[in-house]
Structure 1
Amino acid sequence: MNLPVSLACLLLSGCVFFLGVFVSSSLYARKKRAFLEKIQKLEHENQLLQTSLNLSRHQEQLIEDFSNRLALSSHKLIKDMKEEAQNYFGDTSKSFQSILSPIQTTLTTFKQSLETFETKHAEDRGRLKEQISQLLAVEKKLEHETHVLTDILKHPGSRGRWGEIQLERILELAGMLKYCDYDSQTTSAQGAFRADIIIRLPQDRCLIIDAKAPISDSYFSVEEIDKGDLVDKIKEHIKTLKSKSYWEKFHQSPEYVILFLPGESLFNDAIRLAPELMEIGASSNVILSSPLTLLALLKTIAYMWKQENLQKQIQEVSLLGKELHRRLQVVFTHFQKIGKNLNQTVQSYNDMTSSFQYRVLPTLRKFEGLETSSSHQIEEPTPIESLATSFPHTCDIDTNLAVIESLEKQD
């Protein structure tokens, strides 16, 4: 009984053992298969991750290369534009230097001419004021000297010389120089007549002065003036001057000659004794003059010469103004050309900026959205909004020059 039971137990144990082994091997095989499948899946995922990593690295390298190339291209473009601008503005600067240099010289000359004109004009006003204030003093002095010389001039031979000396002194007081502003003892072209004094006037004209001093003997020898003697001497000399007709011998002279009476008292006495002498002389083209009136006339002539010189300087200033206007017209033209070129350069830069913003940046933004780009972001270029200010429009040069010439004709 025990043996069969033992065998049965043993057999049962063996069956259980084999069954356990079978079940264990079956479970092991299933786990092994599942593990192998999991390993294969992990290897596949690993390959996918490796491929994705390589692709990401490749994309990142592409973006970095593109960024570097774009940066190099931008730097090169900016450098080229900068060099081109420097070359252009360097040439323009040299051109402006060559243009502005003569203009600066013209402006300097123009300024110097104006300063000289203003200085001389102020000096002339001051001198004229002083000269007018001195006229009364000169009159008193001449009258006093006339009375002093009365005793000396009682001799007929010294009267003519006295008239010449008085006339030369008045010429001196008027600031005139011999052989420069006047000539003495000048013979006419025919050689028949000799003028005592010829005053040079502007525009190559002249004024003749006679200084023979037609004074009667009784004027210095008696207390009471012989009316007939003094007046007859002056009338006789007026007829002599009329017969000589100096204005016909010296063609640049006005149709009259000045008869100089070398003393205020002499002139006043003659006019007081015979008031008609002025009319008689004027009808014979002879103008009677006292020292004071002659001095005033000579001062006026000297002032005319100064005005003539000032007029020449004004003409020079006008010519300088015309030349300055022409040169400034050229400068304005260059300014306008530079403004146009600057505006074209700014427009090209803005077009490039717009193209970069709307064509290149959107693609770069897509890379950033994939999170495959580098952390460095490309800065967006800023367009230039301001343009070169337009230079004021200049008037036509011919119109301006015509206006200047018309003003000169009016003056």
Structure 2
Amino acid sequence: MQIIFYLIFTILGLSIGIFIGILFSKTKSAGVYAELDFLKKDIEKKEKEYAALNSKIELEFKNIANSILVDSNKKVQSESQDNLKNLLSPLQTKLGEFQNRLEQNMQNQTKDSTSLKEQIKHLTDLNKQIGDEAARLTNALKGEAKTRGDWGEMILERLLETSGLTKGEHYLTQKQFQNSKGMAIRPDVILLLPENRHLIVDSKVSLVAYDLIFSTDDEAERKLNRKAHVDSMRKHVDDLAKKDYTQIPELNCFDLVFMFVPIEQAFIEAVNERPSLYEEAFKQNVVIITPSTLLATLRLVQTIWQQENQNKNALQIAEAGGKLFDKISLYVESLEEVGTNIDRAKKSFSTAKKRLVEGNGNILSQANKLKELGSKTTKALLELTSEQEDES
């Protein structure tokens, strides 16, 4: 701003100097000096005025600059606050959501903890109940042979139901017969096979000696208990072999009979003690099976029945196809007969038509003559005649 004022003063001084020179050159009178003195004073006055004006302008410029700076600071501060607010607002929202989720999770954890405690208590009670029932069942199975037999039969029937076989269609339970000697005999399960074949399954539970194996830490006693357990299994095999289910007239049984041992480990303990047990039983036509091997056997029976049903369906389809072919043959014969009758009808129609419209003295010509002679008619025969002429 000062540079501008200096330029103005310089130009003004040059202008005044030129003006003074002109006046001095034109007039060389004594009044020139007086004029110069006036001009000097006026210049000094103008310089003071310009200095005051410069100071005033500088002050105003500073005030304007300060005002602009203050406004800019306020604007920047306002924008900074807005930007900070925009930046912190989503964060505040997220923090609120996080706090709500945290509170909800704490509530859920409290509920889950309460529910878990209840479930643990329920499982504890259930475990105690199962333990008590298992103890009662063990005592019952150790006590009466019939109780053990009923329990083994129950396990056997559950496996049958699990296998997908249908009672009454694929197997029978506790059906009583008489053998060739007239003695009552009742197998636990009869597996029904295609072609009217039958397979017997009897459940045998050896639990007393087996339980004693694990009730002592004395190895000598354990060995005696294992031997007693094997002897019990051998006795079941002998008893089952003596029944000879093949002598039941109503059944078409295989020579083999399955002896079901519901406790897998009981069979393993017996075989470990006497490895030849399975072979000895097989020689007496008795096959010892456990839940795992029984399930495989039942699955095989189910597969056999599926194949049998497929074969039956194939036979039925073939039979139905043969019947359908016979019906088609009869239908073709009927169509040929209908065609023959149609040909005959055409010939008869052609003969009748000729008699009606062709030849001398045909029926139509005689009818037209009657009409010409004055017979009253309601229909004309000309169209029929024309059609016949067109066809001829």
Q: TM-score, normalised by structure 2?
A: 0.45
Larger Rg: 2
Higher RCO (C-alpha 8 Å, min separation 6): 1
TM-score, scaled to structure 1: 0.44
